[in-house]
Amino acid sequence: MDIPRFGIPEKLADRMSMAEQHDYLRSRLTRRGVLRTSVATAAVAGAGLSTAGLAASPAQATPTVPVRRSTTQVDGSLVAPFGRHLAYGADPKTQMRVSWQVPFAVRRPYIRIGLKPWALSRKIDAEVRHLTTPVLNGGKIAAAEQFYVHAGLDRLRPGTTYYYGVGHTGFDPADPGNLGTLGTFTTAPSHAESFTFTAFGDQGVSYHALGNDQLILGQNPAFHLHAGDICYADPSGSGRETDSYDARTWDQFLAQTETVAKTVPWMVTTGNHDMEAWYSPDGYGGQNARWSLPDNGPDPVRLPGVYSFTHGNVGVIALDANDVSYEIPANLGVSDGRQTRWLDRRLGELRARHDIDFLVVFFHHCAFSTTNSHASEGGVREAWVPLFEKHQVDLVINGHNHVYERTDAIKRNAVSRKVPIGERTDPTRDGIVYVTAGGAGKSLYNFPAPDSYEGHVQDQDSVKTYHWVKGGAKETETVEWSRVRYTGYSFLAVEVRAGRQARMRVSALAESGERIDHFEIARGR
């Protein structure tokens, strides 16, 4: 029997993409008076700051799905902002995006910044993105009303540390009693210099996730890359309208992450658990409401997790692998090839720049992994790996599999050069090393072969595994490229050196702080 779930017959839902499911529900429920849609059009007001040459940038329109607006009226002095998180703009030398959350509607939210904590600017207006989630799917989707606030700061000074405070009518961060709520951020330098960045994926809300955050803060990173599956408000990750969902998990996540993300730009991309199907467009309306990311990708609204930025001598590209995933096809082909064409063009532009030594690409689904849970994504191998090799990408970082795994240097899906722990590799001749850093905090997966990591090396000549092919089937394969495997919580720390001896030292650290892998990338050495 074809039982309707969430208003869509089950067999029909199985054949529909996420966009088709959303359009189906929109047309049906609108006629029934249940679904209403609006677009948040508030913009950050332009304002100058004489001490920093600062201006606030317009915020992009963000689709939302509201129901009945809250009538709760709360004194602004009783409402404290929380969940602060930073992100670079398209130019990290001069742009920073500051985002936060308030539990209730407030009047006139704003940000103040300055070079000293006691010398903050006048109030710079911020944008509120109101996201409403109704009770749906027989109560499996919980009701939530959330208020996310964003301020885009432009014309900042390169390589400069700023103090900032966020507030609203009734709560002024410049008041003496609120100075403890101030945060700081540092813009990227105007010239290449040594720095560290960190990375992981598949975080969620847990003690392990919180512990990893604190270890990351101890690395003093310039920025952090989050390879998707950010908070797991949607635990199924299938990208279907019939998924259960609890938007309130985001409140917990942003509060958990604030200790580090209020200081370190938290550069996220989109995983399968981040396709929150209720929100238009294509399940990314929630992502648009909660994050302000660089807007230089092929479509900032429909593909919010696709963008690029440069920091010093490193060019970074974020991709949305849902667009090419054979395993989880809810958004397969959502960009109609635009993302892949943009990737080819952008990699070429960055590789042609004389001030860029290294190219780093991060996204969710693994190009090369051997776990029993997800293994490798054939769609990524087909669409993007040839472009990585064409432009000699130096490092690819993935999540999706909740473990740490690192390959040898790979060309054309095979080992081009073995890279044991502690060794150096040259992408100009050896190929590309792929790292799965999915041990950020969610429950761990396992491998079909023994763990093998620093201090506990158990090399395997080959590992029997599989990859996903078009149509959602698994194709078995025996591979020789699985060099390091670690079943534990961990993250990646990359030390970048500039100049004639430019190199990247890549280390994987367990939640105990113990190093489980390290290797070095140097071009033309």
Q: Which domains are delineated in the chain?
A: 1-35 (no CATH), 37-183 (2.60.40.380), 194-521 (3.60.21.10)
Count the residues in the chain: 525
Pick from 12, 127, 3, 155: which is nearest to 60 by CA?
Answer: 127
- Pick the residue with more confidence: 267 or 69? 267
Q: 375 with 468: CB under 8 angstroms? A: yes
Q: What is the mean pLDDT of the chain?
A: 89
pLDDT at 22 over 90: no
State the pLDDT confidence band at 5, using cuts at 50, 70 and 90.
very low
* Residue, of 142 and 108, whose pLDDT is higher: 108
**φ, ψ (nearest 5 deg) of residue 435:** -120, 130
- Higher-pLDDT residue of 37 and 172 is 172
Token duo for residue 3:
């039982």
- Name the least confident of 44-58, 231-245, 336-350: 44-58
As a whole number of angstroms, the distance between CA 324 and CA 331 comes to 8
Q: How far apart are CA 84 and CA 292, in angstroms?
A: 12
Whether the CB-CB separation of 409 and 368 falls below 8 Å is answered with no
| Strand ranges for 67-143 from DSSP E | 82-88, 96-102, 110-114, 124-125, 127-133
Which residue's structure tokens are 């996903």?
468
- Long-range contacts of range 172-181, CB-CB < 8 Å, 24 or more positions apart? 173/112, 173/120, 174/112, 174/120, 179/117, 179/118, 181/80, 181/81
pLDDT of residue 123: 96
The model's pTM: 0.89
Query: What span, in angstroms and rounded, lies between the C-alpha atoms of 350 and 356?
Result: 7
Exposed (0-12), middle (13-18) or buried (19+): which is 423, by Cβ within 10 Å?
middle
Give backbone dihedrals phi and psi of 37, rounded to 5 degrees, phi first.
-130, 140
Q: Is the distance from CB of 222 to CB of 311 less than 8 angstroms?
A: yes
**pLDDT beyond 70 at 38:** no
Is residue 11 scored above 70 in pLDDT?
A: no
pLDDT at 331 over 50: yes
Angstrom distance (rounded) from CA 442 to CA 337: 31
As a whole number of angstroms, the distance between CA 105 and CA 81 comes to 11
pLDDT greater at residue 42 or residue 498 = 498
The per-residue pLDDT for range 256-312, each reduced to its tens digit, is: 999 999 999 999 999 999 999 889 999 999 999 999 999 999 999 999 999 999 999
